[in-house]
């Protein structure tokens, strides 16, 4: 059996959600705190981007870059000494883009209480080649009812992102036509 190069007409085989799902865990230290003594939101956002980037790279089989972050929600503050778990998975794929869903959980490092959800986010990544040009990604195959729900919700978020982008472009074009370049 010989390997053949995949042409543009050959579909890329899909990958199940579980193939790229990942968890990144990190103990929060005093170096990561803000003036209130809790962990900086930016520190959490970096962990979210790191975990999502790992999922995007795994799913696409190569480099992927962050295109956008939607709905970063902080539910509870994260404390010094918390063990933070960032769980990420590919929810949806387009031709070259992927939506990665992320849940952030925290638990006290020295207690046996269950981890509590402290945040969530949705990120869009674009798969790129060595020249930075977009490349095709495998379709994601939802495996569970929860994965299927996440896939459908991701399609709704994509529709809203595209509509928002179109509306903003139309407004800017209209303002430019009126000589209001700001």
| CATH assignment, 15-178 | 3.10.129.10
Domain spans of the chain, in order of start: 15-178
pLDDT > 90? residue 13: yes
CB 66 within 8 A of CB 52: yes
Residue-level pLDDT at 98: 98
Number of helical (H) and strand (E) elements in the chain, helices listed first: 2, 7
CA dihedral of 94, 156, 25, 39, whole degrees rounded to 10? 130
In the chain, the percentage of residues whose pLDDT exceeds 90 is 86
Band of the pLDDT at 70, cuts 50, 70, 90? Answer: confident
Exposed, middle or buried by CB within 10 Å (0-12, 13-18, 19+), for 58? middle
Give the predicted TM-score (pTM) of the model. Answer: 0.88
At 5, is the pLDDT very low, low, confident or very high (cuts 50, 70, 90)?
A: very low
């Amino acid at each position: 059996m010989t390997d053949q190069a995949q042409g543009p007409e050959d579909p890329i085989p899909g990958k199940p959600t579980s193939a790229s799902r990942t968890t990144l865990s990190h103990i929060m230290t005093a170096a990561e705190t803000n003036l209130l003594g809790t962990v900086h939101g930016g520190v959490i956002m970096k962990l979210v981007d790191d975990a999502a980037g790992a999922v995007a790279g795994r799913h696409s089989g190569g480099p992927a870059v962050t295109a956008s972050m939607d709905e970063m929600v902080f539910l509870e503050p994260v404390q010094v000494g918390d063990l933070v778990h960032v769980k990420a998975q590919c929810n949806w794929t387009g031709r070259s883009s992927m939506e990665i869903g992320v849940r952030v959980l925290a638990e006290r490092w020295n207690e046996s209480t269950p981890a509590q959800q402290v945040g969530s986010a949705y990120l869009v990544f674009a798969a790129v080649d060595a020249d930075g040009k977009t490349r095709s990604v495998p379709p994601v195959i939802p495996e569970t009812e929860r994965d299927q729900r996440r896939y459908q919700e991701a399609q709704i978020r994509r529709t809203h992102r595209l509509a928002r982008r179109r509306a903003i472009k139309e407004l800017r074009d209209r303002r430019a036509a009126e000589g209001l370049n700001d």
